[in-house]
Amino acid sequence: MGHLDTPHLQEHPEVSTSMGSSQSIDMIPLFSDVVMNKDLDFLSAIKTVLDRHWYVLGEEVSNFEIEFAQYVGTSHCVSVANGTDALEIALRSLGVEPGDQVVTVANAGFYSSTAIHSIGATPLYVDINESTMTMSVDALAGALTQNPKCVIVTHLYGQMAPIKQLLALANQAGVALIEDCAQSHGATIDGRQAGSWGDAACFSFYPTKNLGALGDGGAVVTGSADVAARLKVLRQYGWSSKYHVGHTGGKNSRLDEIQAAILRVKLPRLESWNSARRDIANRYNEGFASLMDAVPAVDDSYVGHLYVLRTTKRDALRDFLKSQGISTDIHYPVPDHRQAAYPQPNISGSLEVTDALSKTLVTLPCFPGMTDKEVASVISAVRTFFGQ
C-alpha cells in the first residue's frame, strides 16, 4: 500500500527537518508533520488513554473503527498494525492461499507484492493506464483469463483507479477484489469513497498519509459481516477463543489505543486537508501546463497524496531543485517485477507502460500547510529549469 510501512526516515529521508533530516532548515520538505500537526491537541487524547490504563483493543480503537467505517461508507472497519498487514489479512480473509494467483500492478512500491508473497501466493502483474498510472482495464481483462483468486486495485498517488470498470470485470469473472487505499483516503467517484467498492479495502495510517498516525497503523474496511469476522480472528493469532487457535494464517496485528486516539483527532480534518492538497495541485497544474505532456487530473477522485510529474530529464530536474532548496523523491524507481529478490516474475501481457513511466516520475512537495510562497517557489524553479 504506498506506500506503507518502511521506517519513516528511511522511506522519506528529506520529509521534514523536524524529523531528523540532515537537510538544511531552508529546504522546502516533501512533507512536514510539524506543519500538519501544529494546531492539534494530541496530549489530551493521549492522556485519556493513559488515564484509562487500557492500551490495546479498547475504547479508542472501537470508536475509531466505527467512525472510520462511517466516513468511508462501509459497514465494518477492522484496524490492524500497518497497511501491509491490512493487505495480507484481507487476502487471507477472502480465501487466498499458497499457490493462488493475485492480480496487481507493479508500479506501487512492492507493498501488495509483499503481502501476496507472505501468504505464499503469486503476484500476477498487469500493466497500467498511461494517463492515470493505475491498473489498465484491458490488462485486467487479459489477466482474468488465467483464473486468479483475487485482484488488488491500487488507487495510486491519491488518484482513484477506474474502479467501476475493474469491479465489473472482477464480478463477471467471480473474482474477489480488494482496494488498496493507502494513498487515497477520502477520494470519491460518483459520491462513493475509495474503499467502499470492493469486497474489502485496505488503508495505511503511516505518518505521511493523508490520514496519518504518529507511527504505524492500518485498517481493513468491508461491507460483509462474514469478512469482518474473519478479519478480527486473523488480526489476533487466529484465535477462535482466547488461547485457542482455530484458524490458520493468524497474526499479531493490532492498532494500539494511542494511535487510534490520534487518528480520531485527525479524522475530522481530513476533508479540509484533502482540499488543501487539491488546491496546491491545481496551482502546479496551471504553472506546468505549458511544460508537461501530462499533469495529474484534479477532481474528487484525486486527493493529492503525491504530486507526480513526468519528465525524461528527471535526474537533472531533481539536482536543480535540490540546489534551489526544494525536496523531491521518486515514487517508485524500481517496478515490482524488476526487484532483485524475485527474479522470475509472473506477468500477464506487457508491462511496457509500467517500465517506461518508472524512468520519468518525480514527486514534488504537496502537503497541507505549504505556504503560498513555497508553492510559488516550486513552480518558479520548475519553470526556470525548463527555460520558461
Q: Is 351 exposed, middle or buried (0-12, 13-18, 19+ CB in 10 A)?
A: buried
pLDDT higher than threshold 80 for residue 20: no
Do residue 256 and residue 293 come from a single domain?
no
- Average confidence (pLDDT) over 141-149: 98
359 confidence band (pLDDT: 50, 70, 90) = very high
Do residue 135 and residue 247 come from a single domain?
yes
Instruction: Identify the domain containing residue 78 by its residue range.
Output: 42-267
- Average confidence (pLDDT) over 182-187: 98
Tell me, yes or no, whether 378 lies in a domain.
yes
Do residue 222 and residue 330 come from a single domain?
no
The rounded distance, in Å, linking the Cα atoms of 42 and 258 is 9
Collapsing DSSP states into helix, strand and coil, what is residue 77? strand
- Which of 120, 132, 204, 119 lies closest to 162 in space, CA to CA? 132
- Average confidence (pLDDT) over 242-268: 96
Give buried/exposed letters for 215-244 (b at 16+ CB in 10 A, else e).
bbbbbbbbbbeebbebbbbbbbbbbeeeee
The rounded distance, in Å, linking the Cα atoms of 3 and 347 is 22
pLDDT higher than threshold 80 for residue 218: yes
Do residue 94 and residue 198 come from a single domain?
yes
pLDDT at 293: 75
Counting residues of the chain whose pLDDT is more than 90, the rounded percentage is 90
pLDDT at 24: 44
Collapsing DSSP states into helix, strand and coil, what is residue 43? helix
Do residue 246 and residue 300 come from a single domain?
no
Collapsing DSSP states into helix, strand and coil, what is residue 105? strand
pLDDT at 251: 96
Amino acid in position 265: V
pLDDT higher than threshold 80 for residue 13: no
Do residue 98 and residue 222 come from a single domain?
yes
pLDDT higher than threshold 90 for residue 6: no
Counting residues of the chain whose pLDDT is more than 70, the rounded percentage is 93
Domains in the chain, number: 2
pLDDT at 353: 98
pLDDT at 388: 65
- Average confidence (pLDDT) over 248-277: 97
User: What confidence tens digit (pLDDT) does each residue in 278-336 have?
Assistant: 999 999 999 999 888 788 899 999 999 999 999 999 999 999 999 999 999 999 999 99
- Average confidence (pLDDT) over 90-109: 98
Tell me, yes or no, whether 5 lies in a domain.
no
Say which residue, 20 or 48, is predicted with more confidence: 48
pLDDT at 14: 33
pLDDT at 94: 98
- Average confidence (pLDDT) over 129-140: 97
Q: What is the CATH number of the domain that holds 324?
A: 3.90.1150.10
Do residue 261 and residue 297 come from a single domain?
no
- Average confidence (pLDDT) over 161-178: 98
Tell me, yes or no, whether 289 lies in a domain.
yes
Residue 178: half-sphere exposure toward Cβ, Cα within 13 Å: 34
341-345: long-range contacts, CB 8 A cutoff, minimum separation 24: 342/113, 342/117, 345/106, 345/123, 345/125
